[in-house]
Amino acid sequence: MALTINPINGMLGVEISGIDLSRPVDTETKQELNALFSRYAVLVFRDQPLSPPQFMKAAEVFGELMDQQIKQFVLPDYPLVGANSTKDLPRKNGKLQVRGENYHTDHSNHLKPPKATSLVAVEIPSYGGDTQFVDVRRAYADLPEAVKQKIATLRSMHVHQSSHSPRSFAKLSPEEMANIPHVLQPLVIRHPVSGEPALYLNTGRMEGIQGMSPEEGFALIAELYAHATQSIYEYRHKWRAGDMVIWDNRSVMHQANADYDPEEYRYLYRVMLNGEALIPAFE
Ligand code: SIN
């Protein structure tokens, strides 16, 4: 297959055409796509109106499908595929409470967080509802040396919902809550393929910094988050029905937007891929 590659924002994001993801992908193309995934962190494929089983196969080009933590939003016939639908969202003062607002990286409270998350757009509102990504590799690289030194070996406890979380998470059943992990994660991680260091942040789940007072720890998290979410590090994906986007949770944070007409329908399929325990960039 001859892929056409159009990088989006330097090393963040690439639009790939010349491939039909509803068909089997040969070994050479798989290798090429995986190399692009590690390098560009967000892959965008337009015009791929995949059915759930086709989407599962397409995502498996990049790894192994991960179990969905929140069972209430999965497709009954395909429990590894989540349904991201406006019809499931509560409203507050007329505004949809969308899942995934505020920049984050998925399930960071797991010992082995998902290496990737992917969405296929089935139906998209006439305006708004973009997904934003920020490159936490570049954000790390741009930090002053003194800050790099200070944070090199720091760790943060990631829990289900931080006491300082800017958002509320979906309500879980007592059985689901009983299985929710919490884990100490490095503040600076190393990518297992590229070896690149990156900030590892999730304000919704980080419960301070190990060895620091709560005030000092949360202040440092807020400072790093403000730095990493600057628009210079951003790619903002404007969805079209039939887009498949897959991103590397170790290289980017992402966020959803509730800026569309709540009466319009937004519906995407969502899968995650199993990851490994995170590698600290420095010991
Ligand atoms: C997510 O965080 O996976 C959802 C992104 C979106 O709906 O835009």
Domain 4-273 class, CATH top level: alpha beta
Domain boundaries, the chain: 4-273
Ligand 1 site, residue 84, Cβ cutoff 6 A: yes
Which string of DSSP letters, residue by residue, matches 68-94? PS-GGGEETTEEEEEEEEGGG--EETT
Q: Is the pTM of this model over 0.75?
A: yes
Closest ligand 1 atom to Cα of 130: 8
Among left, alpha and beta (phi > 0; psi -120 to 50; other), residue 127 is beta
Q: How many CB atoms lie within 10 A of CB 156?
A: 25
Residue 20 binned pLDDT confidence (cut-offs 50, 70, 90): very high
Tokens 């009954």 locate to: 76
Residue 29 binned pLDDT confidence (cut-offs 50, 70, 90): very high
Instruction: Give the pLDDT of residue 94.
Output: 80
Instruction: Give the pLDDT of residue 174.
Output: 83
Ligand 1 site, residue 275, Cβ cutoff 6 A: no
- Single out the residue of 16, 21, 64 nearest to residue 40, CA to CA: 16
Closest ligand 1 atom to Cα of 84: 7
Q: In this model, does residue 99 exceed pLDDT 90?
A: no
Question: Tokens for 108?
Answer: 């960071």
Cα angle 270, 273, 278 (rounded to 5 degrees) comes to 130
Instruction: Give the pLDDT of residue 93.
Output: 83
Residue 177 binned pLDDT confidence (cut-offs 50, 70, 90): confident
Measured distance CA(190)–CA(282) in Å, rounded: 8
pLDDT tens sequence across 199-257 = 999 999 999 999 999 999 999 999 999 999 999 999 999 999 999 999 999 999 999 99
Ligand 1 site, residue 185, Cβ cutoff 6 A: no
- Single out the residue of 185, 278, 252 nearest to residue 39, CA to CA: 252
Closest ligand 1 atom to Cα of 266: 7
DSSP H or E segment with residue 178: helix 174-178
Pairing of strands 42-45, 12-17: parallel
Q: Which of 88, 270, 271 to mutate to test the pocket of ligand 1 (most atoms within 8 A of CB)?
A: 270
> What mean pLDDT is reported for the chain?
95
Task: Look at ligand 1, atom 1, and give the residue with the nearest C-alpha.
Answer: 100
* Residue 226 CA neighbour count, 13 Å, CB half: 6
